[in-house]
Amino acid sequence: MDKFYICGGKKLNGELEISTSKNAVLPILAGCILCDGVITIHKFPKYEDTKNMLEILEHLGASFKFQGDSVILDCTNISESTIPIELANKIRSSIFSLGSILSRQKKAKVAYPGGCNIGARPIDLHIKGLKCLGVKIIERHGYIYCDGGNMKAGTIPLDFPSVGATENLILASVFLKGRTKIINCAKEPEIIDLANFLNEMGAKVFGAGTSTIIVEGVEHLNGVEYTPIGDRIIAGTYVIATCMCGGKVTLNNVNSEHIYSLLNKLENSACKVHSYSDKITISALGKPNCISKIETRPFPGFATDLQPQIVAMLSIAKGTSVVVENLFESRFRHISELKKLGADIITKENTAIIKGVNKLYGAEVMAYDLRGGAGAVLAGLVSEGYTTISDIYHIDRGYYEMEKDLQKLGAEIERISTKE
């Protein structure tokens, strides 16, 4: 099992290219199931999650090959409609395949998905939405059995603006004759990117990025070459890292509007951000200031995927901050690891009260999940002495060779392979 070994106290300076968004690529890969031709995805990010998703597509009958930084997929021979437990357990986003498989095969058998253990992530919204389209569903023995023989366009009111459900229902509706209306949709940039990808293949998806999406059914989709958006969560992570460590960093392949909620909160936190069309520059001016209150919300609100990282920053900020986690009830598990480094944090239900300390001290900590692990890395970067982070396979699911990115900026961090 690999570990990170960090010597804290180094400032960050330099320039980085932000990789393609994992959360955009995963539903796009599910969308590839709908095409019976060849698709090229440029700047393909080789995270564990994206590689696991390719494995699912291969199981379904697709073939793929890497060519430089691109992946070329041939989905002509997709014929399988089952995703077994051993594949679904590897990745939460396996559920995205459900809508696509139903669209193409009119039936599906998909095991309940895996992913990070950050609390209940119910798929009821997906199932309820598919039933609105006429899908017959039985849940039994860890599988979701779907019969889409009588699928038809319709209206789907979502009880909550779920990103995954919005994406899944778009994919399920592409081939349905007539017009499907999805109400109370999530508005995340990744949904807009999925709609753009599908539309370039010949789909008719309207309203992505708003609360109502219309999908007009088409008969088939053509192959396409596509470059997904940059990863706003990775960008946000490195923005916070710079604010914590000090220095000046430029991040390329970033749309500042995608992380506006973060940049807005940092306006009074001793760092200056200059935004350009496709990059941002962060200049840290000193120790971060506290932020009176942050609440995680669906986009365009503050991203829950940046909550552990901002908590790490606030643990060394001047003053007391409050963070409220509204989306996942177990997403404060990472705080126990920050406390090992000396953080002064009290949690009560979904609220964390963070009293900034003068200094954190290196220790052995664990990455409980993907984003919590990233927060631990950031805390290690500013801790006095050495910090060891175990279980970093969680981090690898969403940050490709994170240590190399940070090394480019001057951080002292190594990946150590251990035999266990």
Q: Are residues 151 and 299 in the same domain?
A: no
Known catalytic membership, residue 116: yes
Q: Are residues 254 and 361 in the same domain?
A: yes
Beta-bridge partners for 329? none
The residue-averaged pLDDT of 377-401 equals 95
* Cα–Cα distance for residue pair 233/296, rounded to 1 Å: 14
Q: How confident is the model at residue 115 (pLDDT cuts 50, 70, 90)?
A: very low
Q: Are residues 138 and 219 in the same domain?
A: yes
pLDDT for residue 399:
92
Q: Are residues 251 and 365 in the same domain?
A: yes
Q: Is residue 356's pLDDT more than 60?
A: yes
Q: How confident is the model at residue 95 (pLDDT cuts 50, 70, 90)?
A: confident
Q: What is the pLDDT of residues 236-293, one digit of tens each?
A: 999 999 999 999 999 999 999 999 999 999 988 889 999 998 999 999 989 999 999 9
The residue-averaged pLDDT of 112-125 equals 62
pLDDT for residue 172:
97
Q: Is residue 393's pLDDT more than 70?
A: yes
Residue listed under structure tokens 């939460």: 92
What's the domain count of the chain?
A: 2
Q: Tell me which of 225, 253, 275 is where a domain ends.
A: 225
Q: Is residue 47's pLDDT more than 90?
A: no
pLDDT for residue 274:
94
Which CATH number does the domain housing residue 260 bear? 3.65.10.10
The residue-averaged pLDDT of 128-140 equals 96
pLDDT for residue 117:
47
Q: Tell me which of 174, 194, 225 is where a domain ends.
A: 225
Domain that holds residue 368: 2-18+230-417
Percent of the chain at pLDDT exceeding 90:
85
Mean pLDDT rounded to a whole number for the chain: 94
pLDDT for residue 118:
42
pLDDT for residue 116:
46
Retrieve residue 94's tokens. Answer: 């396996």
Q: What is the pLDDT of residues 69-79, one digit of tens each?
A: 999 999 999 99
Q: Are residues 218 and 255 in the same domain?
A: no
Q: Are residues 134 and 186 in the same domain?
A: yes
Catalytic option among 116, 132, 146, 290 = 116
**Is the model more confident about 377 or about 110?**
377
